[in-house]
Amino acid sequence: MNAHSSPDRQAGHAHGPLQERQARQGEPSSASPAARRILALNFPYLATDRIARGRHGKAWRQTAPDTRPLVTAQKEKGAMRIAALDEAAEALGLCRGQGLADARAACPELDIVPADPEADRRLLAAVADWCDRYTPLVAPDGADGLFLDISGCAHLFGGEQGLLSDLMARLHEQGIAVRAALAPTPGAAWAAARFAPAPLVIEKGAEAPVLAPFPLAALRLDAETLAGLAKVGLKTVGQLAAAPRAPLARRFGRQCLLRLDQALGAVEEAISPRLPVPALSAERRLAEPVGRVEDVEQLLLSLAMRLKEDLERRGLGARALEYTLFRVDGAVHRLCVGASRPVRDPETVVRLFRERLAGVGDGFDAGHGFDVVRLNVLATGEISCRQGDFAQTGEDDNPDLALLLDRIAARLGGGAVTDGRHPVRRIEPVESHVPERAERRVPVTGNRKDSPAGEQAPEPAAPRPARLLSAPEPVEVVAGVPEGPPQRFRWRRALYRVARAEGPERIGGEWWTADAPEDLAPDPRDYYRVEDEEGRRYWLFRRGLYGPAGRGAQPQWFMHGMFA
């Protein structure tokens, strides 16, 4: 196997208390939680970077191809305006929102491409997915930014400066320009990422002096509030912080003071991760990328062995697992499997993911290899240690059957089993005369003894079709009155002539159900087995009766199934 872990990057930890993560890294334990550290990323040229990557490849910023100034345009307020632009267009004095006619006059060689906000969102989502290699706490920030909560994670990358440098260098290699800043609060990090001249690391307590010279737009205020503050001579964060608070709140509302307090750390601001935070996680960073499936499975086994210790200590097993593989070119593969019962045996985990890999097939592309792999436990369940006896029988006590069903679900891509509802189902009888209600699909690993219908379904009075429609479909029928069989019928715009017919088989309505009529006298169903001139056999029924017995209502005909 060609996988090697670099000494300073090996990480196998549970994303939980800081002291547990430190113990995994051989650091002294601390009872106090890690200081909050928020990394803000701003992508000022996201749209044009997307276009350049499509034209020249992801390494276009390194090869520096000779290109014209590039902008994207969209219609705003009845006129075509610039939606996004690259560095070259920005250097010419063009700006967002500028009319396209004025931009063409200033730069005749301008390269104009229609704006595609949906493609920009997809690229931002892909970058956010890639940022999971640094922390699982990644939150979107508008259409051009991300927040990363890296509290307690920086030591895995040689410190905060090392993490910041590594992230920016990798994004540059992928052809994406980024501005970044690190601070104790999301507001301070957001402001520094957009208004600081270079990547900035703000220590706790230094927010006020660092943000003081920034314009008030750094506080994420709306345009109307910014215009009002400018009229009274307040243009920087420092001036706003020094002004009396009560008059500001009366004139401009509490929002401007709230944003100021959030940036300076006086009021806590929460960020919402885009993905659920795993209960446990084990990770490995590789000095050399791997691409063979055998190596991927071997790494998975080592990660599962690490997680087994954490699960055993808690008395838990995994119900849903995610294997995340980060490619060196920025692509991310996520494989998810579920278990009908909690598992923590490493070999069992590998067998489930082996089925998922086989199900993905050619969709699993290692590219130039994976340099980071991570195994997440998304959901857990308690494993009770109880001694069995010889009398225990049934599906719930058959671990081999449960594993087989989990492997089938993994191969078919049924998803994770997080709520006890297995994607593989079986049919269970239900106490009902109505055919579409006479059965239900239940998780195949459930206990049949819990079913009120018992083990065996009652035998029907007449043959039932091989295929039963999920809901009866209306048909147009010509039939004898009052109780003659169908002679011809129209179903799904096709006309069928009946050659033979058997019936009727009457099934009475269920007056005790919630959808029964108020008089508790539901219309009966008369079922007919019919065969058309080409030998195809169908199951039709008439709901209601002709004449006085039908209480003045016209009967309706329905198609309910087809015989083999």
Domain boundaries, the chain: 35-42+120-264, 280-412, 467-562
Give the mean pLDDT of the chain. 85
Domain 35-42+120-264 and domain 280-412 have a common topology:
no
Asked if 279 and 381 count as a contact pair (C-beta separation under 8 A), the reply is no
Among residues 503, 505, 563, 506, the alpha carbon closest in space to that of 538 is found at: 563
Q: Could you tell me the end-to-end alpha-carbon distance of the chain, in angstroms, rounded to an integer? A: 54
Which one is predicted more confidently, 442 or 74? 74
Query: Residue 109 above 90 pLDDT?
Result: yes
- Kindly state which CATH superfamily the domain 280-412 is placed in: DNA polymerase, Y-family, little finger domain (3.30.1490.100)
pTM to 2 decimal places: 0.72
pLDDT value for 85: 95
**Cβ neighbours of 142 (radius 10 Å):** 10
94 phi and psi angles, rounded to 5 deg:
-75, 160
Residue 204: HSE in the Cβ half-sphere, 13 Å Cα cutoff: 9
Question: Do the bridges between strand 179-183 and strand 200-201 make them parallel or antiparallel, or are there none, so unpaired?
Answer: parallel
pLDDT value at residue 176:
96
Domain 35-42+120-264 -> CATH class: alpha beta
**Do residues 185 and 38 make contact, with C-beta atoms less than 8 angstroms apart?**
yes
Strand order in the sheet with 70-76: 79-85, 70-76, 111-114
> Percentage of the chain surpassing pLDDT 70?
85
The CA distance from 241 to 547, in Å, is 86
pLDDT value for 388:
56
Hey, what long-range contacts does 110-113 have (CB within 8 A, 24 or more apart)? Answer: 110/68, 110/69, 110/70, 110/71, 111/67, 111/68, 111/69, 111/70, 111/71, 112/71, 112/72, 112/73, 113/51, 113/70, 113/71, 113/72, 113/73
* pLDDT score at 417: 52
pLDDT tens digits along 324-361:
999 999 999 999 998 888 999 999 999 999 999 998 88
Q: Tell me how far apart the alpha carbons of residues 132 and 366 are, in angstroms, rounded to a whole number.
A: 18
Residue 204 has pLDDT above 90, yes or no: yes
Read off the pLDDT of residues 382-434 as tens digits, 9 standing for 90 and up: 987 665 555 554 445 567 877 888 888 888 875 555 444 556 777 778 888 88
Which residue shows structure tokens 């912080």?
241
Q: Which residue has the tokens 């009366």?
A: 250
Are 178 and 42 spatial neighbours (Cβ–Cβ below 8 Å)? yes
Q: Which residue bears the tokens 């039709």?
A: 540
Distance CA 88, CA 65 (A): 13
Q: Is pLDDT of 24 > 50?
A: no
Work out the pLDDT band at 30, boundaries 50, 70, 90. Answer: very low
